[in-house]
Amino acid sequence: MKKIIIIGASSGIGKALAKKYSDQGHTVGLAARRLPLLQEIQSQLSSESWLETIDVNKEDSSEKLLQLIKLMGGVDIIIINAGIGNLNGDLSWKMGKKIIDTNVSGFVNMATTSYEYFKKQKSGQIVGISSIAAILPMSIDPVYSASKAFVSNYLEGLRLYSEKQKDNISITDIRPGWVGTNLITNVREKFWIATTKKAAEQIYSAIEKKKPSAYITKRWAFAALLIKILPGRILRFLTKS
């Protein structure tokens, strides 16, 4: 069995992934800002699990991630799911900066810390949770869309870097479409909504197969192809919220 750390495990996709991995008998490390929520999730898991409070925006986040790895006696997979959005339709710079700090700077911090650990271990897998918004910009939250485009491009570059350096580190970019979490509550135009359980099952499968990238649910892969060739008028219709 494997050892997995999920950063951003307190709700939504992260929480569902924790349950999925635990149900399969894997050891799970739960990391997020809110300890009470992590403790509640831990009480529902059937396999061995560990907790660490990590705020990816804090200076000690890298140290805490390494501490969790040490407590677990090493890990095989690190899933970076921490991320926020502002789907209220305003362009507040204060909120925009918070999204960039979390989804971009915080993400890179966790990814580089994970990479350096796996490089020393000479094996491992980094999984980043991006979004269909990486290629389908949302008018309701341009900063969120841009941050997810950064995540996907960063992961692609990291994969190429790993191959060039021959570091034996797998990189997986997960791009969910609409998933039934609190993040999409205020979005009016949404379709193909998946439950967190179904999303977690497909993400788990993609990670196990070490896919370079995967759209969740699978039908979004077809949508992604169409998005690349859609006339601007149709694209605007799909992205209005």
Residue 189 has pLDDT above 80, yes or no: no
Pick the range with the lowest mean pLDDT from 71-75, 123-127, 152-156, 174-178. 174-178
**So what's the pLDDT on residue 147?**
96
Number of domains in the chain: 1
**The pair of three-digit structure tokens given for residue 230, joined into one six-digit string:** 């859609």
Residue 81, domain CATH: 3.40.50.720
**So what's the pLDDT on residue 234?**
57
Percent of the chain residues topping a pLDDT of 90: 72
Q: Which residue in the list 21, 115, 117, 144 is annotated as catalytic?
A: 144
Domain range for 229 is 3-239
Residue 78 has pLDDT above 60, yes or no: yes
Inter-residue contact 133 to 144 (CB < 8 Å) = yes
Residue 54, SS3? Answer: coil
Residue 62 has pLDDT above 90, yes or no: yes
Q: Please give the average per-residue pLDDT across 48-64, as a whole number.
A: 97
**So what's the pLDDT on residue 228?**
75
Mean pLDDT (the chain) is 90
Residue 182 has pLDDT above 70, yes or no: no
144 carries an active-site annotation: yes
- Alpha helices, DSSP H only, in the chain? 12-23, 35-42, 61-71, 93-100, 107-121, 142-165, 196-208, 219-227, 232-239
Residue 216 has pLDDT above 80, yes or no: yes
> Which pLDDT tens digit goes with each residue over 41-51?
999 999 999 99
**So what's the pLDDT on residue 186?**
52
Percent of the chain residues topping a pLDDT of 70: 88
> Which pLDDT tens digit goes with each residue over 128-166?
999 988 988 877 789 999 999 999 999 999 999 999 999
CA distances from 121 to 62, 86, 105, 168 (A): 17, 37, 24, 10
Angle, alpha carbons 133-137-179 (nearest 5°) = 30
